[in-house]
Copies of this chain bind each other. A is one copy, B any other.
Amino acid sequence: MKHPLHTLRAGLIGTGFIGPVHIEALKRLGVQVTAVCGSTASARACADKWGIPEVYGDYDYKAMYASPNVDVVHITSPNKAHVEQSLDALAAGKHVVCEKPLGMTSKETAKVVASAAKKGAPVFSVNYVCRFIPAILQMRAMVARGDLGRIIHVQGHFFQDWLLKETDYNWRVLASEGGKLRAIGDIGTHWIDAVSFILGAKADRIFAHMETFHKTRRRPKGEVQTFAKIDPKTMVPYKVDTEDFGSVLLRFGKAGHGFADGVHANASVSQVSAGWKCSMAIGVYGTEASARWTLDDANTIVVGRRDEPNQILQRGTPGFSEDIAGFTDYPGGHAEGFNDAHKMQYRAVYQHIASGRKTEPLFATAADGHHEVRLCEAVLESSRKKTWVSI
């Protein structure tokens, strides 16, 4: 008898930086990757590398959706294509793993929520992958069990430097391509979603301050890959309509377990922080203990206590593993990294599908993805009005 996950077959749209990350994670799980869609050349190359039988060039994702050999669609195309491809996938009866953000506006993402909520609709997930870093799952379990007591406040940041220079370019810099928010939309939402997941509560009020340090940037004429290097000589100036960095204060609503009601959070987000490639930090401070975690040292959590020594929780060792059984594979000291988190996320989604929705949907749903988009709109409104805004 085949392993349940091996019976499921994935088709992928998009072959840029993140697409292959999905493919490798799926292959690790034993999921069959049966189709790939993208530009004709890159889809072909991708198929040749991983032995993917069906190739859909010219970005013809609808043809792929018609394939009887695809059960789950992974959407890793640019942001502005997400909603349409999601709606079409649902309509075609395909389960969906959609890269974040779910869409460009809450108006359009609401449609995905509605479609995914229909009776008999396929499973829909949005790729807020930080949820499946075992330490994040662990902090969520600790909060839910009351290990940290009542949560008082949360603080942290997400800092990158890949857009530090005025000559740094990516389609995400353009509001028309990536959405009106950039730093907060691209990485800030990872932080907010992860904190929301940890607390078991959703943000309901926001105060934000955003700044565009480089009001004019220079860009290459053609299109470029994420993280690719560009020759400055070919560049033309353009006005920047997305923020370089921002501060976001949030109030979270009620959590079902009663340990995290009305929590205040403070996040700094920046894509112009020299030297810090992916510096993400979350600190959750409760009446009994605190939990601090950084992405730089993703396999551990530091638990702070007032009247006892602080503790270092290590993934794969006692105090850690029982809460996250099934979402970490290697013993302590054998680091899990970026690809492993993707693997765990897809395991959650595919187990949910394979079980007939019997498992808890730990992954971000369409509603979660929609909430993040609404939240970004509130950030924009707050930053403009300079007041707190309710979501």
Contacts and interface: CB of A to CB of B under 8 A. Distances in A.
A270 B152 CA distance: 10
Interface stretch (A95-103, A117-125, A281-289): A281-289
Interface stretch (A54-62, A84-92, A334-342): A334-342
A314 interface: yes
Contacts of A51: 2, 6, 30, 32
A317 interface: yes
Contact of A388 (B161, B289, B309, B386): B386
A148 B275 CA distance: 11
B50 A6 contact: yes
Q: Which of A227, A264, A336 has the most CB of B within 10 A?
A: A264
B245 A153 contact: yes
A306 B152 contact: no
A282 B212 CA distance: 22
Interface in A200-235: 207, 209, 211, 213, 227
Nearest to A3: B49
Interface residues of A, number: 92
A153 B2 CA distance: 49
Interface string A24-58: 10011010100000000000010011110000000
Given A272-B152, A388-B386, A49 B27 contact: no
Contacts of A304: 161, 273-276
B160 A333 contact: yes
A185 B247 CA distance: 21
A182 to B, nearest CB: 15
Interface stretch (A104-112, A172-180, A294-302, A366-374): A294-302
A155 B249 contact: no
A313 interface: yes
Interface in A155-195: 155, 157, 159-162, 164-165
A334 B340 contact: no
A319 B288 CA distance: 17
Contacts of A45: 3
A331 interface: yes
A278 B333 contact: yes
A195 B35 CA distance: 43
Nearest to A17: B331
Contact of A153 (B211, B298, B310): B211
Interface string A1-19: 1110110000000000100
Nearest to A338: B334
B388 A306 contact: no
B311 A277 contact: no
B272 A332 contact: no
Contacts of A32: 51
Interface string A310-331: 1111101111100000000011
25 contacts: A5-B49, A24-B28, A30-B50, A152-B272, A153-B270, A160-B333, A161-B306, A162-B331, A213-B287, A266-B266, A273-B304, A275-B306, A275-B310, A276-B290, A277-B317, A277-B332, A277-B333, A278-B332, A298-B335, A307-B318, A309-B312, A311-B312, A334-B337, A336-B337, A386-B387
Q: Which 7 A-B pairs have the closest CB atoms?
A: A275-B304, A278-B333, A277-B333, A335-B337, A277-B332, A337-B337, A27-B27
Given A152-B272, A161-B306, 13 more contacts: A21-B330, A152-B270, A153-B245, A165-B306, A209-B249, A245-B264, A247-B264, A270-B285, A275-B290, A275-B306, A298-B335, A308-B318, A387-B387
